[in-house]
Structure 1
Amino acid sequence: MSGLHLIREIKFLLVFLVGICFTKTPSFSFEINTHKCIEKEGEAIRSIHPTCAKHYSQYYHDCCNWPGVYCSNLTGHVNQLLLSEFLSYCEDGLLPKNITELLPLQSQTIHLDPSLIALEDLIYLEITNLAGSYEVHANLSFIGSFPKLRHLIFASFNLNRGIDIPHQVGNLTKLHYLEISYSNMLARSLNMLSHLTSLRHLIFLNVDLSEATDWIRVVNNLPSLEHLELSECYPPDAILHPHSIINSSKSLAFLDLSYNFLKPSSIWTWIFNHSSLVRFSLSETLSSDSKIPSRFREMTSLSHLDLSNNYLKGDLPSSIKGLCRLQKLDLSGNNLKEDLSSIFQSLSCSNKSLMFLSLQSNHLTGSLPDFTKFHSLTELNLASNRLNGLFPSTFERRSNLVTLNLQENQLTGSVPDLSIFRSLRVLQLQNNQLNGTIHAGLGQLSRLEELDVSSNSLKGEISVSHLLNLSRLHHLDMSFNSLSFNVGSGWVPPFRLDTIGLASCRLGSRFPEWLRTQTNYVSLDMSHAGISDTIPFWFWNLSSRATFISLSHNRLRGELINPSTKNSTASSFSAIDLSSNLLEGSLTLYFGDYDYLNLSRNSFSGPISFICKSAWMLGLDLSHNLFSGKLPDCWSLFGFDLSVLDLSNNNLSGELPSSFGSLIRLNSLHLRNNKFSGKIPSFFCNFTRLVYLDLGDNLFSGEIPKWMGHMLPNLTVLSLRNNSFSGKIPLELCHLSSIQILDLSTNNISGVIPNCLCSFAAMTQELRPPVDIQDMNGTFLSIGPYKDYISLVLKGFIYEYKNHLELVKSVDLSSNMLGGIIPAEISCLTGLISLNLSGNNLIGPITVKVGQMKSLESLDLSNNHLSSQIPSTLTNLNFLGTLSLANNNLSGRIPTGTQIQTFDASAFAGNPRLCGDPLPKKCIEEGAKADENNNHEPTNNDEDIFLGLYISIALGFISGFWMVCGFLIFKRSWRYVYFRLWIHLYDRLYVITSLKLASIRRCFQA
């Protein structure tokens, strides 16, 4: 018999032995039981779960000794029934072994019906934990048949359908305690509770009260009510009448209305009528912004006040001033904008009582006051505000503070001597602007368990004195500072850490020896730590609990030793990141089962067949290495698990193996810059969850499959750049409504650009939320939200986008054989930042609608056969940083605009008929205009002079012409003399010319 089974059996026997001698009740002391179970009551209990009852009766015939059944020692009647306890011993196998073997448990059906009326002396009834594997048959009409019942609980009682709370509950006039929680029940009215004048505790958790408009009236009429809890019930807004205030219960001390949806105006008046409240919670309840009412200062009995996550605003100091009994105050998640010192001043009268104060996630300003003035304060949470300045220079007294959370503020300076906080267990200062040093007094906090100062600008050395007495420390995060560890090679830490965060700290060139003592860590981050060494073998044997290890961005060198060959006990890691180091050699090692393995940016070589030793993975990154050969045909091992695969920038070759098609859960696939060949396999149509697909810079060929547009509906990035694809661009690609990066450049694609580009809905929007790669269960990878990346050619340079990939929207169809015109529909892509259509055979004009693409930062239409003028709407592209229209047949004037004229002339070169800035060739209209600008502009007097001159010239020409011509026409003798003169001159010129030509001819002949 195993030890565990023996313990369980002894436990069961002890319970039943006590049951023989005593009657245990939750609310009364034990009494000697001198009576046996009454037969009719035993039969009623057997009907609940006959199989369990038969088990118990095999061991004890008396039902008063069964688990969860308690009888009165005076009458023998069952007065308490705890159904969860009754079932748990049977369900968990806590019965003796020989008994459970007699009658195996078969039925999982629970019966709750009127037969239980036989338990007429019940005082305590608890029906809990029936959700899950049980099939519950319930008729709850019997509930009102227990006249002595004082305590009734329905909890985790899931009937798989909403049922009304039985109205018979109203018959339980002696009821003191009523709880219904997470039982899939609803109440259209609470009127059935009106007669429960003895009710002190009313607890409804996750009960549908959305139609119970009478809830306030009923509550007000319960004179003994002390504790009211209506959490996650969504009651309707209060409609107050005068009697609602007059009849309010004066005994109410505990009120919890958290996680509802109420209008502030409908609830504040009713709440403040209960001046006797001691504990009050309204967390995440108000449906709209509201001011903190000043009447809170009237509720002087308050010790616990929770108004968190309600977007409250207003004058907080005046609202809470005078609450001198406060022990807990939670105002986190609101819109408070006060100075912190004024809040602390308003709470000064509670300086001896206040134990818990949370003002997290507001807009508080100012510097830190001396919070040691609150003698009893154990937890202070001021995270996610706008606090600035330094820590107080001195503290008034020693403090019992246990938790101090100041993360995500704007605090500056150093971490001071906090040694007076000897009780401190949690210190969170991450994500501030601390730029000084850490005081060595930190090492005196012997009770410290969590220390987080990450993401600051702290500097200086961390020595042994800083960590001297921190023997209880289990969480240490000093990442992303400028700290140097100077602890010596032989230092033995006093702690055993669960979390080690030392990213970007200078740990020295040698691998830290002190790490050998940390055998229990779960998470280790020593990235960017300046380590220049080999990874020692003992490192892989340290922790069997490790789920995250990052040694990336160091100068780790050498080969990775296979732990399994050394009888390593290292088991499974969830994530290992050894990227960006100097590691080399072929890999045959086995890390175990892991979620994510990142070996990128090293010099590993050889085949990648080592992955076939893995049972499953969610993410694998082997990019930027020297791996070669064909892919192994073992991808079916990963089946439904692998979500991220990056093999880019290696020397891998060949066609993709058939088992690759089993990766149907892939979200991200990067095969860029290898030598993969063949057509895109048809099994890619099974990758329906694919978001990022990068096959660029390979030897893939064939046509782009038409099914891509239908079978890969979630594609956000598609890059087929620099392959040998041919054929036309399938019209089916227009079904990719989520696409935001489409790169088909440098292929042999022909045909025309599809005119259905308006279907790229993601490119018609200026912004889009980032896409996080998730695993098959919809949860993040072990490293957190996975940020994908893509390499793009933008503005003539290769960029790798990762952190802001959601902002990049690009279409690149360059260096193909596309013809036809640029479709006007391309102007729909108003969110596009880069468009490259260069190096094709495009003809026709540039669409005049190009000016609608106002997000464009890069436009390249060079090396085509575009004609006509450059549209003037191009000047509307105010963000354009790169433009090339070179080597086309464009003509006319270059449009004038602030942005256009800033580009170099090379952007327009190769267009002989273009003119205007920035080209040296000026347009004709410009030259004429320049001449006009250089001439003197005539005055009025000049115009009169020119007018007279023109008239004189005209008259002179007319008179001279007609005087000569008139004489020749009318006087014949003059006409004969005039023409004879011209004939004589002609004859003389002819003789002289002929003699000269004859003389020249004789000279040449001689």
Structure 2
Amino acid sequence: MAALSALTTTVITCLILITPAPAAASGASCVPSERDALAAFRASLLDPAGRLASWSGHSCCRRWRGVHCDGWTGHVVKLDLRNDHAVHSDTDWILFYEVRVDIDSSWVHSALALRNTGEMISSLAALHHLRYLDLSWNNFNDSSIPLFMAGLKNLRYLNLSGPSFSGRIPPQLGNLSNLQYLDLSSGPTSSSDLSWLLGLSSLRHLDMSWVDLSAVRDWVHTVNTLSSLKVLRLRRCKLESAISTLPHFNLTRLEVLDLSVNKFNASIQQKWLWDHKGIKELYLTEGHWFGSIPDALGNMSALQVMDLGHNNLMGTIPTTLQHLCDLQISEEHFSSLLNLKYLYHSGNSFKQMVFEEDWIPPFRLKVAHLRSCRLGPKFPSWLKWQTEIRVLDVSGTCISDSLPVWFKTVFSQAYSLNLSDNQLCGTLPRTLEDMLAMVMDLGSNNLTGQVPRFPVNITYFDLSNNSLSGPLPSDLGAPRLEELRLYSNYITGTIPASFCQLRGLVSLYLSSNHLTGEFPQCSDNYKALPPDDLDPFFSPYFGDRMSTIDLSNNSFTGPFPQFLENTTYLRFLDLSHNNFSGKLPTWIAKRIPYLRHEGHEAHYSGWEQGRCLRRQHISFTKGQELRYTFSNYNLVVLLDLQQLDRTDSGGDITAPWAQEPESLRQPLGWKDSEHDRRFELKGLESLDLSRNRLSGEIPSSLSELTSLSWLNLSYNNLSGRIPSGHQLQTLNDQEYIYIGNPGLCGPPLRKNCAMRGRHDEVDDVSDDLAALYLGMSIGFVVSLWLVFCTLLFRKKWRIAYFVLFDRLCDNIFVQVACKLGKKSSVTGPKNNT
């Protein structure tokens, strides 16, 4: 035994001596070729915040941020360059789209995002031992997913989520047979064929949410081959079919299935959906499902989270749902939900959401969607414990209470706050600048007091339909503000000069207040762009990004706001019902070209034309005022004169096109001379003259309106050939344009003008025959009555007429008798024979 023990000790000692020490423990640097590959990759990136400042020297395994090596071999096995300052958890991409769904997604490319100047270089292909690669939520300038990633055969984890890459997903990713985790969500990418997934037999987590899969067919069979899947997320993928008859449901390990926000337009009675009892989370919201909830749902006994909202389901809730004992959304269960982070309860009216005043919840929520739930009338006191909240929606929840004093403190870290459509009263904190909210909606309440200074990161701020009063703060802050809604309040005073600092402003609503004075001109308020244009919210001029401006129903004075000359992308402008004065600038049509679109409008009122003291009003939108007294009608781009026989004066427009009244002819820009009839509104884009009593032919000059994109001449009395022209032939629904005018002919109508000519000839012949028959009938009647009247009043003529008539009758009798006698004499002997 002693000899054996000594031998064993010797062997172990030898093994220890010949086994190499761990590379990291021994202080050795990483493999030189891999270090060089990382350095080359680093050199191709822009790192404005210095996230990769540690990437220098030889010890890349121990000191380079995000680089992890194998402890024994020194090979790089993990590269984690995820932008944690844009996204904070695996489910925070939901927050991103819920908070910023209407706003430019470039906000996630913060100062800490890595950027590249072109296509990603392939130096990372040298990391043959790489098992973990995370490049999510950076800014790679919408470059395509590089093909070299398909050569990293040892990858187990690949995360390319976020709006970093674009284009088609390379099918070569199917070569990564060892891959267990794949996240391609949230990027503007697409795939027309998912057959490449067949090579990922080890895949356990697949997230392709927001990837365009509209061209994919029979995706159910393809996904069903991934027998190791535990998580499958295909949210908002533009999928259009979920109908499938699987012979066997192969996803026996599936725990999370998310197919929400697609347009399946199919019965929810799809057997493959309800065949698995192990699913814990099921999301089918906004899937355009219809029909009744299947009884088989009750067999999914492991379900903990289920969302079937926003569909077209009908019928009764199956009684089998009583078997789903693990479902948690009732009051008695909330006390045990220690780890609850996300609560989606919007659209319900269950009163169990009203808790006791002193109830302290055991959870700390990140997301709480409680829209339209009955939380009131008191402000929910349990919310004061939710200091980690990031998204809160309690809009329309019947709260009729004052804003709590802890509002600012508790919700200081929230991204999105929606408390609109309640009866909140009281005043706002004097300043909100230290809150981190990007979206804040307190509209349609009863809040009073002054408008506070804005949150520093706010991009959408809504305080409309309240009772706020007093002047605006002199220093607004909020350099990233994109949309401001303060309409329908009692705000007084002038617009502060700090407005000119809001260079990211896109929409501005200040109507129906008591604002006075001149709007800041901001004409000299130019600021040079920062180096490399790192801030996506920065514009050199105030108004440069604006698309909507509503300043109506105030008491603004002074000339036309000069800053509007910078609003190149402006689509809606309303300056009506103010006290502006002076001339309307001639540069409007040139500098604000996007006002020329149907559905957008421009209102100007209160201007004096030269020394003219009368008020002018001009409106350029469908369904709005039809008073045109502004002389410069060349600015008109949308004109709606539909059914003008219902005017205030009661007059009808029944004249032919060549005889319009002056009031109609002038706004149309119509010039009428002996040989020339044409439209002068070359910039007109929309014209509606339907349902009037217009007659005559359509002027051929209509085809000269090269900007025309919408036309409606239906239901009039127009006739003749429809003018031809390239512009008219490009309009949509061409037959509908001319419907209700039986006298029109030619393309696009099926009525041929040549046939119309032949029909006219036939009609002319028919008219002549009818005249002939009518004349003959009248002549016969007149002649008959002439003879009758003569006989009636002249006795001698009457006697002579009847004597003549008797003679004629006698002669006829004799002739007939003779004929009959001859016939009898001829036929008699033959009969005797």
Shift of 1:671: 0.7
Distance in 2, Cα, partners of 1:935 & 1:860: 31
**Match of 1:580?**
444
- The separation in 1 between residues aligned to 2:339 and 2:263, in whole angstroms, is 29
Give the match for residue 488 of structure 2.
624
- Correspondence for 2:461: 597
- Kept in 2, the 8 Å contact 1:857–1:882? The answer is no
Contact 2:554/2:578 (<8 A) preserved: yes
Contact kept? 2:181, 2:205, Cα under 8 Å? no
Residue in structure 1 matching 2:338, options 451, 464, 471: 471
Q: Does residue 288 of structure 2 align to residue 410 of structure 1?
A: yes
Identity level (%): 21
1:434/1:488 CA distance change after superposition, 3 Å = farther
Which ranges of structure 2 fall in alignment gaps of 5 or more residues? 1-16, 43-49, 67-72, 82-114, 135-143, 526-541, 612-619, 648-661, 672-676, 724-732, 746-762, 791-833
CA distance in 1, matches of 2:442, 2:594: 31
Aligned AA for 1:821?
Answer: W
Separation of aligned partners in 2, 1:84 and 1:944: 110
Q: 1:939 to 1:881 in 2, by over 3 A?
A: closer
1:432 aligns with 2:311: yes
1:695 maps to what in 2?
Answer: 575
Tell me, yes or no, if structure 1 residue 509 matches structure 2 residue 377: yes
Which structure 2 residues correspond to residues 378-397 of structure 1 after superposition, within 5 A?
A: 378-383=255-260, 384=262, 386=264, 388-389=267-268
- Of 743, 757, 773, the residue aligned with 1:938 is 773
SS in 2 for 1:693: strand
The match for 1:550 is: 418
| 1:972 aligned residue | none
Q: Do the aligned partners of 1:856 and 1:879 also contact (CA within 8 Å) in 2?
A: no
> Which residue pairs with 1:774 in the alignment?
none
Match of 1:520 among 388, 406, 410: 388
1:582–1:125: structure 2 CA closer, same or farther, 3 Å change rule?
A: closer
Q: CA deviation at 1:397?
A: 7.5
* Contact 1:443-1:469 at 8 Å conserved across structures: no
Structure 1 residues without counterparts, runs of 5 or longer: 1-21, 32-64, 72-77, 89-104, 113-121, 132-148, 158-180, 207-229, 236-248, 285-307, 447-461, 729-738, 765-791, 799-812, 839-843, 862-868, 884-893, 899-927, 957-1006
- Asked if residue 310 in structure 1 is aligned to residue 173 in structure 2, the reply is no
Task: Determine whether 1:421 maps to 2:270.
Answer: no
Q: Distance in 1 between matches of 2:201 and 2:183?
A: 22
Distance 1:82 1:339 in 2: 41
TM-aligned CA deviation for residue 847 of structure 1: 4.2
Segment drifting more, 848-857 vs 679-688: 848-857
Provide the residue aligned with 1:496 in structure 2.
364
For each residue in 1:572-598, what CA deviation from the matched residue of structure 2 results, as whole angstroms up to 9, or x when unmatched? 432221222344x44154454333321
Residues 343 and 608 of structure 1: is their aligned pair in 2 closer, same or farther, counting only changes over 3 Å? same
Structure 1 Cα separation of the partners of residues 771 and 518 of structure 2: 78
Provide the secondary structure at the position in 1 that maps to 2:375.
coil
Deviation at 1:525, TM superposition (A): 1.4
Offset at 1:600?
Answer: 1.4
Three-state SS of the structure 2 residue aligned to 1:720 is strand
Shift of 1:283: 11
SS of structure 1 residue aligned to 2:384: helix
- 2:277/2:301 contact within 8 Å kept: yes
User: 1: CA distance between counterparts of 2:774 and 2:280?
Assistant: 93
TM-score (norm 1): 0.46
CA–CA separation in structure 2 for the residues paired with 1:252 and 1:354: 19
Output the CA distance in 1 between the equivalents of 2:166 and 2:580.
58
Size of the alignment, in residue pairs? 603
What is the distance in 2 between the residues matched to 1:320 and 1:666? 42
Shift in alpha-carbon separation, 1:26–1:521, aligned structure 2, 3 A: farther
Question: Does structure 1 residue 707 correspond to structure 2 residue 583?
Answer: no
- Give 3-state SS (helix, strand or coil) of 2:630's partner: strand
Distance in 1 between the 2:400 and 2:778 partners? 94
Question: What is the correspondence of 1:991-1002 to structure 2 with a 5 Å cutoff?
Answer: none
CA–CA distance in structure 2, aligned partners of residues 309 and 509 of structure 1: 47
Q: Is the 8 A contact 2:366 2:391 kept in 1?
A: yes
Structure with the greater relative contact order (CA < 8 A, sep ≥ 6): 1 or 2?
2
The corresponding residue for 2:241 is 364
Corresponding residue of 2:800 = none
1:685 aligns to what SS in structure 2?
A: helix
Relative distance call for 1:645 and 1:356 in structure 2 (3 A) is: closer
CA contact (8 A) 2:76 2:130 kept: no
Which residue of 647, 650, 654 maps to 2:517?
654
Give CA deviations for 1:820-865 in whole Å, capped at 9, x if unaligned: 73583468678515479x9xxxxx998455599784459999xxxx
Other structure's SS at 1:750 match:
coil
Give the Cα separation in 2 of the matches to 1:571 and 1:283: 32
Provide the residue aligned with 1:645 in structure 2.
508
Instruction: Give the superposition deviation at 1:658.
Output: 4.8
Q: SS at 1:465's partner residue?
A: helix
TM-superposed deviation, 1:498 = 1.2
Amino acid at match of 2:484: L
Change over 3 Å in CA distance of 1:261–1:745 after alignment to 2: closer
| Structure 1 counterpart SS, 2:440 | strand
Distance 1:370 1:486 in 2: 43
- Shift of residue 501 of structure 1? 1.3
Amino acid at match of 1:476: L
- Radius of gyration: which is bigger? 1
* CA distance in structure 1 between the aligned counterparts of 2:392 and 2:183, rounded to whole angstroms: 36
Q: Distance in 2 between matches of 1:819 and 1:186?
A: 56
**Alignment-derived partner of residue 608 in structure 1:** 471
2: CA distance, partners of 1:428 / 1:279: 29
With over 3 angstroms needed to count, the CA separation of the structure-2 counterparts of 1:551 and 1:392, relative to structure 1, is farther
Q: Secondary structure of the residue that 2:417 maps to in structure 1?
A: strand
TM-fit CA distance, 1:357:
4.5
CA distance in 2, matches of 1:820, 1:320: 62
Q: 1:555 to 1:442 in 2, by over 3 A?
A: farther
Q: Aligned partners of 1:80 and 1:848: how far apart in 2?
A: 73
From the superposition, tell whether residues 830 and 466 of structure 1 become closer, same or farther in structure 2 (CA, over 3 Å).
Answer: farther
Q: Deviations over 1:142-194 (max 9, x none)?
A: xxxxxxx997999999xxxxxxxxxxxxxxxxxxxxxxx98989999x9xx9x
Distance 1:937 1:322, change over 3 A: farther
- Secondary structure in 2 matching 1:471: coil
SS in 1 for 2:473: helix
Is the contact between residue 727 and residue 749 of structure 1 (CA under 8 Å) also seen in structure 2?
A: no
Distance between the aligned counterparts of 1:741 and 1:363, measured in 2?
Answer: 35
